[in-house]
Amino acid sequence: MHYEEGRRLERSEDKEQLRRAAQRFVWAQQYVKDYRDSRDRYDAARKGATTRMGIAKFEAANPEHSNMGSKVSQALLERLLNRSQQLQFFEIVDR
């Protein structure tokens, strides 16, 4: 049931549909360990559903704020890492 629904949903290119497909494959694995190719299908659906974001350094024009870019980047990364369980479809790209 979950596996078949995941197969139906994974045909979409829509990220939300792919997220739902990935969840269906997880549920299929929870019912029967290593059910068919549900792990591989989960990985593929997750990859297609993932939003990626790059964080680049920037320099402030005003020398008084020269370390502001580092502070902002660090604060953002800390917040994201603290929520990593909630962000299974989010990835930070190293630039």
Q: Which residues of 47-57 are buried (b: 16+ CB within 10 A; e: fewer)?
A: ebbbeeeebee
Does 85 have pLDDT greater than 70? no
pLDDT for the residue numbered 95: 63
**Cα gap 49→47, rounded to integer Å:** 6
Average pLDDT for 28-49:
94
In sign, the C-alpha dihedral spanning 26, 32, 33, 38 is: negative
pTM for the structure as a whole: 0.72
pLDDT tens digit sequence for 57-83: 767 777 777 777 778 778 887 887 777
Strands 51-54 and 90-93: parallel
Provide the token pair at 86. Answer: 């909630």
Average pLDDT for 24-52:
94
Q: Are 40 and 10 spatial neighbours (Cβ–Cβ below 8 Å)?
A: no
